[in-house]
């Protein structure tokens, strides 16, 4: 059984994530879709949710966001390799964008 404090933290995280997603979509839709790893339909839906709907959606015992890194080696590469400060963000972006492509390929393959 999940304790009450942990459940509240998950729900707070969910609401923060949904609010951030809406803000990103409002400011730069293309970049937000890339960062959130969502398609046009999901972006439209997220952007259109009312405050009430965001609240309802956030009140679950499951995290709505997930770790983009599916492989422990990718996380190790990000945290253990020293790089110039300017290259750290580029390296992370390259790793994470590759994860998005792999995930999309897996979903497409599952539908075929």
CATH no. for residue 9? 1.10.4000.10
Average pLDDT, the chain: 81
pLDDT digit string, tens, across residues 32-66: 999 999 999 999 999 999 999 999 999 999 999 98
Same-domain check for residues 46 and 2: yes
Same-domain check for residues 81 and 60: no
Same-domain check for residues 38 and 75: no
Same-domain check for residues 10 and 26: yes
| C-alpha to C-alpha distance for 69 and 58, rounded to whole angstroms | 23
Cβ-in-10-Å burial (0-12, 13-18, 19+) of 73 comes to: exposed
Same-domain check for residues 55 and 73: no
Q: Which domain holds residue 101?
A: 68-112
Chosen domain end from 32, 48, 66: 66
Same-domain check for residues 92 and 109: yes
How many domains is the chain built from?
A: 2
**DSSP state, 68?**
S
Same-domain check for residues 31 and 61: yes
Is the pTM higher than 0.75? The answer reads no
Same-domain check for residues 17 and 5: yes
At residue 87, the pLDDT reads: 57
Q: Which residue has the higher pLDDT, 105 or 50?
A: 50
**DSSP state, 37?**
T
Same-domain check for residues 39 and 74: no
């Amino acid at each position: 059984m999940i304790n009450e404090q942990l459940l509240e933290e998950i729900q707070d995280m969910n609401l923060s994530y949904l609010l951030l997603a809406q803000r990103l979509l409002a400011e730069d839709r293309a970049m937000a879709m890339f960062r959130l790893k969502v398609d046009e339909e999901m972006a439209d839906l997220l952007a259109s949710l009312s405050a009430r709907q965001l609240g309802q959606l956030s009140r679950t015992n499951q995290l709505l966001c997930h770790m983009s890194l599916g492989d422990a080696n990718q996380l190790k590469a990000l945290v253990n390799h020293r790089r110039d400060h300017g290259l750290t963000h580029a390296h992370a972006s390259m790793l994470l964008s590759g994860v998005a492509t792999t995930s999309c390929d897996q979903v497409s393959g599952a539908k075929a």
